[in-house]
Structure 1
Amino acid sequence: MSNDLRVRAGGDGGPVLLLLHGLGATGDVWAGWEPQLARHWPGRWLAPDLPGHGGSASLASYTFDTLAEAVRPLVEPGVRTVVLGHSLGGVVALALAARAPVAAVIGLGIKVVWNDEELERAQALARRPVSWFDTREEALTRHLRVSGLAGLIAGDDPAAQSGIRAEDGRWRLALDPAAFGVGAPDMPGLIAGSPATVTLARGENDPMNTDAQLGRLRVPVVTLGGLGHNAHVESPPQCLALLGGIGAAQGPAHRP
């Protein structure tokens, strides 16, 4: 495993479930999955902080490819690996599948349609310097808002705590602002380049995407009733059902 990544892990043996969080969050966002995984997942699971998030090192440049390369060491040759990624993590999962022996990818809550105004706003955020806060509470409030977790988790939740950092008596987000500059994904290209099976999923109430937008990508789409963008936080059992029997199934061979 890469020494540049902070990784939560559990379980034993194979297959391996790799869980990739969304922009602004950390690997702790999957903490609510642990009891379910202990009962229903037959092997190990790994939940890294993506580069520039939580306790992982920053990158000189943030692209889907550089993020995928950073997590690539977590995929072991000869071990069946399934990747479930949320939002940004779902795109990274697709980029990873093109370069590592991944059997299946589940992309949850991926924003697949972007307009110029949204992209310009993201680039402006990427150019901003780090914001500093005088109190821990102010930093926590900003982290929960940026990560979309406000109202879903408490300030003492590990997913909240790992998203902020204290330095010289002040507080900041652990998130590297430059990560906002990752851009819009080429979803048709990423899906075409993945030798792994691909499933897309969304919460019924997710404002980031629609059934029609995902349906145009010509892969299986699952809509999770009553859930929003952070469906994996709102209902781990409902989202875990996306895996079905995928852990034990035989996936396609990886094309180099």
Structure 2
Amino acid sequence: MRSTGLPARSTDLSEWLTGAYASLPRRTTVEVDGRLSSVRSWGDPEAPTVLLVHGNQAHAGWWDHLGPRLVTGRHVVAFDLFGHGDSAWLPSYSWDAWAEQVKSIAASYGAKRVVGHSLGGSLALTAAARFGAPFERLVLLDTPLRGTRRTARAPASLAPPRPGPYPLLERARERFRLVPPSPRDPHPLILEHLFRESVHRVEGGWGWKRDPVVLARQGEAPGLRELVDAPGEVVLVRSGLGLVRDDVMELVRDAGGELFAEVVVEDAGHHVILDSPRRVLSVLLDVL
């Protein structure tokens, strides 16, 4: 039986989540090009590091229920992309600037294995294929690349809740939502944790820890060419109800590439780490 670094798992998801969230991360900052990136970590800093990269309009707290359960034999690091969470806001945002941030944070911790969800997977792939980040293995969690998006299930709008301020915390909670929506609601403990990690006090009440300008990012998302060109092995974890096409393996082969592995989480939507956390943990323990 694989050890997760925490007490034996309960079959009850509430207890499982409560145990994970009780294992608080260490927090620090890392400077990248003169701007501070907010970092959280779990496990032995002397162990090999696995880097976790969150998706669009999210933050490192999306990994708080998985990070502490990956620590056996690993140092687990997650960080906030610029414009998200507690990291610096920039005048403008681009794929390349975020990819350089991924590369720099990985280099700071010597991370050779990277897990990215959605935008985070695209940025990790960009860091490897365009900027030569020496990753040994990339795990892409429902990461739609150019030409692989399931158009019928693409979100109609990526518009987030208005930036605020909200005079009352409860008003902000009422506006909090996942984009795109999940086909089934994630556990209430997950949603409450994400909400609490997504807001901060601002003048006039409460606001989101997200720069609205991130939606106007510049540059081009990676496609199959980058996947083929990336050094190291690529594992694609595709959600059965997510944003990546079912025939992605054929598309990769047609482009001259090969995946190390493809795993399908049948009953999950795009936010697979929220919809099926224990299934995702099992996959990550197998492939990292």
Same fold (TM over 0.5): yes
Q: Is the counterpart of residue 142 in structure 1 residue 142 in structure 2?
A: no
Which SS does the other structure have where 2:76 is aligned? strand
- Classify the secondary structure of the residue corresponding to 1:171: strand
Pairing 1:44-55 to 2, within 5 Å after superposition: 44-55=75-86
Aligned-partner SS, 1:6: strand
1:23 corresponds to which residue?
Answer: 56
In structure 2, do the counterparts of structure 1 residues 145 and 236 end up closer, same or farther at CA, with 3 Å as the change threshold? closer
Does residue 1:151 correspond to 2:185, yes or no? yes
The correspondence for 1:73, drawn from 104, 116, 119, is: 104
In the alignment, the residues of structure 2 paired with residue 104 and residue 146 of structure 1 have an alpha-carbon distance, to the nearest angstrom, of 28
Distance 1:62 1:45, change over 3 A: same
Matched-pair contact (CA < 8 Å) for 2:190–2:274: no
SS of match in other structure, 2:66 = helix
CA distance in 1, matches of 2:51, 2:37: 13
Contact 1:16 1:80 in 2 (8 A): yes
Runs of 4+ residues deviating >6 angstroms: none
- Cα RMSD (Å) of the superposition? 3.1
Change beyond 3 A, Cα 1:226–1:186: same
Once residues 284 and 214 of structure 2 are traced to their aligned partners in structure 1, the CA distance between those partners, rounded to angstroms, is 28
Deviation at 1:77, TM superposition (A): 7.3
SS of residue matched to 1:106: strand
Contiguous gaps of at least 5 residues in structure 1:
248-256
Question: What is the DSSP-based 3-state SS (H/G/I as helix, E as strand, rest coil) of the residue aligned with 1:28?
Answer: helix
Structure 2 residue matching 1:216: 3-state secondary structure: helix
1:20-79, Cα deviation, whole Å (9 max, x unpaired):
1111111111111134213xx412011111111111111232222111112323223794
Which structure ranks higher in relative contact order (CA pairs < 8 Å, sequence separation ≥ 6)? 1
* Letter matched to residue 36 of structure 2: D
Number of equivalent positions = 239
CA contact (8 A) 1:9 1:47 kept: yes
CA distance in 2, matches of 1:88, 1:78: 21
Q: Which runs of 5+ in 2 are unaligned?
A: 1-29, 254-258
> Structure 1's 94 and 141: CA in aligned 2 closer, same or farther, altered over 3 A?
farther
Work out whether residues 165 and 171 of structure 1, in 8 Å CA contact, stay in contact via their aligned partners in 2: yes
User: CA contact under 8 A between 1:80 and 1:103: conserved in structure 2?
Assistant: no
- Which residue in the other structure is 2:11 paired with? none
* DSSP 3-state at the match of 1:224: strand
Q: Which amino acid aligns with 2:227?
A: I
- Is the 8 Å Cα contact of residues 8 and 27 (structure 1) preserved in structure 2? yes
SS at match of 1:25: coil
TM-superposition CA deviations, 1:198-226 (whole Å, max 9, x none):
121122122x2221246412334221122
TM-score (norm 1): 0.79
Secondary structure at the aligned position of 1:225 is classed as strand
Does residue 227 (structure 1) correspond to residue 268 (structure 2)? The answer is yes
Alignment-mate amino acid for residue 222 of structure 1: V
